[in-house]
Amino acid sequence: MLPGIKSHLVVALLFTLVITTCAGQIRQRSEVGIGLGTFNYTGDLVQNYNFKFSKPAFTVFYRNNVSKVISFRASITAGKLGASDAAAPIDAFAVKRNASFDIFLMEISGVYEYHFLDWRDNKRRLRFTPYLFAGLGLFTISGVPNKTEQYSNVQLGIPFGGGIKYVINPKYYLSLEFGVRKTFFDYLDNISDSDPSFKNYQYGNKFDYDTYYFLGVTITKTFYDIPCPTNPYK
């Protein structure tokens, strides 16, 4: 399947998922929110999560509460992503390579959230819950200097992670979230295509895809939807 056709099919799938969920749950509460945080990255330049390479990022989202424990969230997240060999070289080859990148990344995603505690029950004093999430997303990158290979700037990602939510009052609550974005792409850092038979300092490992992360705090406002009218004679 051609990459362009694959991307369009994923977009159609995400759009259908959002519409189906929102339409089927119109009686449930809806939420909108914003958040600030950081992007980070692991790949050929950085093999382990390093706070030194955190870059500013932000997110906006819509959430639909499917049930007391399950929610669907559609979001747009964007920010800077970067790293360099000079700041934290992983070995002598990285010192010689002296590569770096500083790009802009924007992501559109749809995920399902699972909440472990019944934190929405007004009769209980519980005001927080841990949660997990997973779904599908698309991301696009820009600002790549001296592009070394031909590839689409729109790629598929799998967001997953977890966090904790705290109720401020019935209309507002805060969340602290850490999310991983698994990609099938090796050019976030514009480095790939090594010969596995020997180590070449100019390149990386094309069999080890890049990963990026979002760590942030969000604030959410809850809206109470008006149910669709029903026929009282049925």
pTM of structure: 0.82
Print the domain residue range for 166. Answer: 3-25+33-223
Judge whether 7 lies within some domain.
yes
Judge whether 147 lies within some domain.
yes
Judge whether 234 lies within some domain.
no
- How many structural domains are present in the chain? 1
- At 173, which CATH number? 2.40.160.20
Judge whether 90 lies within some domain.
yes
Judge whether 232 lies within some domain.
no
Judge whether 11 lies within some domain.
yes
- The CA-atom distances, in angstroms, between 83 and each of 1, 11, 80, 190 are 33, 29, 10, 11
Judge whether 228 lies within some domain.
no
pLDDT in tens, 168-219: 988 899 999 999 999 999 999 988 865 444 455 556 676 789 999 999 999 9
Structure tokens given for 148: 């070394």
Judge whether 229 lies within some domain.
no
Q: Would you write out the chain's pLDDT as a tens digit for each of its 234 residues?
A: 445 545 555 555 555 455 444 444 444 589 999 999 999 999 989 999 999 999 999 999 999 999 889 999 999 999 999 999 999 998 888 888 888 999 999 999 999 999 999 877 666 677 899 999 999 999 999 999 888 788 999 999 999 999 999 999 888 999 999 999 999 999 999 888 654 444 555 566 767 899 999 999 999 999 875 555 555 555
